Structure formats: C-alpha cells, structure tokens
C-alpha cells in the first residue's frame, strides 16, 4: 500500500505464445472509459519474449503508454518472474487502478501481486464504475449469483480481476499514437518452477465457442445429455449447462454458463429445458441469436430469446439432429 499521489490506470496485457488475450483489449476499453471520467491516462504492461510488435496493438486498442518487458526468461508465464517485475513497475508508476483478466494466468498472478503490494483485490468482477469521489466500484456476483455486490477497497492501487467477455473492447485504430517504454527485466535464474511439458486441456472453452447447446433442469437423467452432444456435433458446437446439472455432478463445471460459471457470447445459443434463472441469463443474454426449447410457455428464458419453441425437447432435438444430418449429407454430395 502506497501513500501519496496516484495516477493513471494500469492494465495487465496477458499474452501466451506471443498472442494477446482478448480480455486485455476489453480491459483497455473499460480503462479508457474510467480514465476519461478521472482525467488520467491509460497504461499497459506487457511481458514476454520477441513481442515488441504486440505493444503497438495495445496502443491501437486504447493504451497511451505500454511498458514492455522483452526477455527470454519471460517467454513462458512464470508467476514469480512476472510478480517481481510487475510489482517493481507498480511501485514506481503508482497507478490509481490496476486491472487484470480473470483468466487462468490472471487469477494466479493478481493475488500474489496484491499481497506483495499489501493492497486489496476484488476477483471475478463483471462491471466497474466510479463513485462521486472517483473511487473504483467493483461489481461482482455474490451468494451464488443471487446478488450483485458493490465493493470498494481503501488501499491503492485499487486492484480487480475482470471476467472475459463482459466488457466491450474498443475498435482497433491504427492511427492512434502512444509511447512504448522498454524496461529492463529483473532476471531470476531459478524460481523453483520448470515447465516439463505443455498438454492441451480437455476442458471445453465456452468463451470462444461459436455455437453452444445448453441443458437445464428439464433433463431427467445424465445419460440424456447425449441428445445435446449429438445436436452440438451436428452444429459444430459445444455443450453447455445451467448450474443445477453441474451441482448434481452430471457435467463438469467448465460447461457451466452463468454468474458462477462462464460468460458466453456465441453466434448461436440453444437452451434446452432451461427456465431462465437470472444467474443463467447473465451468462448468455448477449449471444447473437438465442433459441429456446421449453414445455413451459411462461418460462423467463423466452423473454430473452430470438426464437422460442414450446414443446418437449426430448421430441424436438432428435428431429433437429436428423434434419441437420440430412442437410449435411446433401452438401457432401
């Protein structure tokens, strides 16, 4: 925790294998919005190896200044190396607000930096705002998504991790100008961690899916989820789920859509047997096209749907699969 004047908003630009995670651009978009209200600038910190060109991308997306740490030891994410270098930068630059993505890397890194700086951290935010005094209001679901908590931290920098796909990124502007400041990386030869092998995770990534077919309480037994697997396969999509099926152990949590699961914005979202609890609607309401199948014509899910089918998905889904397979076979001939 620092005393004295703080300035600017700092965004951690997460990269892996030389590619910037899209959540970084979303945070720059929100950072610009907050910075204009506060009358401060937006800076970003990028660590990696041979990534100088990516710094320019951050400027095109809203950063005024990019602090670039380019060194071979930073090529792969190492939480100790990243923490030491970022903590030193924060101590020198003294940002008012420090934002990071609520990703695998962000959730690993943010608490260590916050602890080292002796400042507060609010995790998994879904919105950010400012109060009348210009202090950061960090909004996140609480009590299993039944309420939206508004949190303020007394210490600075005010740190928050923000979920992917809940903020709007700015359009890329190649004409936008900014400054890239190269910083000397503090080199730590041995952090006690070595990468032995990189293995692709088996988990489904709903945040990147173009088509999601989701199951709800209307399913009678876990074996029936094979119906949705067939539909998802026919649409080149993935299977999602509402929370009750995850809590029942029918499907893993990485398939969950909602407050306490994943925020998804696919091109097509098909909800089968989902009534439409607020916890679930929050996670999929921004999909381009929402199609709902439910026996209850008064189900809240229909209020956010572009197309609704009142009926038994046990009867409707097999018909959809059959017709989709017919169309695909025509295309192949």
| Alpha-carbon gap, residue 288 to 227, rounded angstroms | 23
The pLDDT value recorded for residue 247 is: 94
The pLDDT value recorded for residue 29 is: 97
**Residues 223, 160 share a domain:** no
Q: Domain containing 247 — which CATH number?
A: 3.40.50.1220
Strand partners, 141: 148
User: Over the stretch 217-268, which tens digit does the pLDDT of each residue have?
Assistant: 999 999 999 999 999 999 999 999 999 999 999 999 999 998 888 889 999 9
**Residues 288, 143 share a domain:** no
Q: In this structure, are strands 95-101 and 7-13 parallel, antiparallel, or unpaired? A: parallel
**Residues 132, 231 share a domain:** no
Mean pLDDT of 91-100: 96
Query: Who contacts 246 (Cβ-Cβ below 8 Å, separation ≥6)?
Result: 252, 253, 255, 256, 261
**Residues 223, 145 share a domain:** no
User: Over the stretch 104-118, which tens digit does the pLDDT of each residue have?
Assistant: 999 999 999 999 999
pTM of the complete model: 0.82
| Alpha-carbon gap, residue 103 to 110, rounded angstroms | 10
The pLDDT value recorded for residue 3 is: 45
User: Over the stretch 190-221, which tens digit does the pLDDT of each residue have?
Assistant: 888 887 877 776 678 898 899 999 999 999 99
**Residues 224, 129 share a domain:** no
The pLDDT value recorded for residue 1 is: 47
- Average the pLDDT over each of 133-147, 271-285, 298-312 and give the range with the smallest value: 133-147
Model confidence at 6: pLDDT above 70: no
**Residues 310, 233 share a domain:** yes
Asked if the structure places residue 320 within a domain, the reply is: yes
**Residues 154, 230 share a domain:** no
Asked if the structure places residue 196 within a domain, the reply is: no
Identify the burial level of 282 via C-beta atoms within 10 angstroms of its C-beta, where 0-12 means exposed, 13-18 middle and 19 or more buried.
buried
Q: Residue 23 sits in which domain range?
A: 7-182
């Amino acid at each position: 925790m620092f005393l004295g004047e703080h300035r600017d908003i700092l965004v951690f630009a997460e990269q892996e294998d030389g590619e910037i995670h899209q959540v970084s651009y979303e945070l720059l978009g929100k950072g610009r919005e907050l910075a204009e209200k506060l009358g401060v600038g937006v800076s970003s910190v990028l660590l990696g190896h041979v990534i100088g060109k990516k710094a320019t991308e951050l400027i095109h997306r809203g950063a005024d200044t990019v602090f670039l740490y380019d060194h071979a030891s930073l090529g792969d994410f190492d939480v100790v190396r990243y923490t030491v270098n970022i903590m030193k930068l924060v101590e020198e630059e003294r940002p008012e607000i420090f934002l990071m993505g609520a990703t695998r890397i962000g959730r690993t890194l943010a608490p260590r930096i916050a602890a080292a700086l002796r400042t507060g951290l609010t995790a998994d935010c879904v919105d950010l705002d400012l109060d009348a005094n210009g202090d950061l209001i960090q909004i996140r679901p609480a009590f299993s998504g039944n309420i939206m908590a508004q949190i303020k931290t007394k210490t600075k920098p005010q740190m928050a991790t923000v979920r992917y796909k809940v903020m709007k990124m700015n359009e890329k502007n190649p004409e936008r100008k900014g400054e890239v400041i190269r910083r000397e990386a503090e080199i730590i030869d041995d952090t006690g961690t070595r990468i032995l092998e990189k293995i692709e995770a088996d988990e489904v990534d709903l945040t990147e899916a173009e088509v999601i077919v989701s199951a709800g309480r209307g399913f009678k037994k876990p074996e029936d989820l094979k119906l949705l697997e067939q539909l998802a396969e026919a649409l080149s999509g993935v299977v999602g789920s509402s929370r009750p099926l995850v809590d029942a152990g029918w499907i893993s949590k990485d398939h969950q859509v909602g407050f306490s699961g994943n925020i998804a914005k696919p091109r097509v979202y098909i909800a089968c047997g989902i009534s439409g609890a607020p916890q679930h609607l929050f996670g999929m309401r921004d999909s381009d096209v929402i199609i709902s199948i439910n026996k209850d014509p008064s189900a809240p899910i229909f209020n956010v749907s572009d197309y609704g089918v009142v009926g038994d998905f046990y009867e409707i889904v097999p018909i959809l699969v059959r017709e989709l397979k017919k169309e695909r076979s025509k295309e192949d001939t």
